[in-house]
Amino acid sequence: MRVAIGADHAGFLLKEAIKRALATLAVEVEDLGTGSADSVDYPDFAARVARGVAAGTYDRGILVCGTGIGMAMAANKIAGVRAAPVVDADTARLARAHNDANVLALGARVTTPDRALEIVRVFLDTPFEGGRHQRRVDKISGLERC
């Protein structure tokens, strides 16, 4: 699995921790920035990761900011991206199983590092259930043309 990861200054340290954790799994991770805790604008990094996922360069994206909210809002502007701001393992599982989320948005200021790593593992391991959920996801995609 190819995963793109990005963060703003608020998410920088958690991004680094996630990269270290993913290095122990069979996951190919590409870091699309930011590269330090200096202040930056989260939409710039959301766009890099979201465009890469939409283009098929990456299977999944992980974005980290203070809350996960701004990253998800920005990433969801890119057609083909379904970014979910996730706060626990259960919402991570459902974002994959029901919504086929392809981008995970985490909030470094609202979750602990341990919980964030658990969320990442669940997000990467949970398959989409398809079935009735496929019809609904197709309707989300249809809204991109409105």
Report the interface residues with ligand RB5, using CB under 6 A: 8, 10, 42, 65-67, 69-70
Long-range contacts of 79-87 (CB under 8 A, 24+ apart): 79/54, 79/144, 80/53, 80/54, 80/141, 80/144, 81/50, 81/53, 81/54, 82/137, 82/140, 83/46, 83/50, 86/119, 86/123, 87/111, 87/119
Nearer to ligand RB5, 10 or 119 (CB): 10
Judging by DSSP bridges, how do beta strands 28-31 and 2-7 pair with one another? parallel
**DSSP code of residue 127:** P
CB of residue 9 to ligand RB5, shortest distance in Å: 7
The one-letter amino acid code at 23 reads A
Q: Which of 9, 65, 133, 146 is catalytic?
A: 65
CB of residue 83 to ligand RB5, shortest distance in Å: 12
Comparing every residue's Cβ against ligand RB5, the nearest one is 70
CB of residue 56 to ligand RB5, shortest distance in Å: 27
Three-class DSSP category at 46: helix
Nearer to ligand RB5, 6 or 70 (CB): 70
9 as an active site residue: the answer is no
Nearer to ligand RB5, 40 or 100 (CB): 40
146 as an active site residue: the answer is no
List, by residue number, the catalytic residues.
Answer: 65, 98
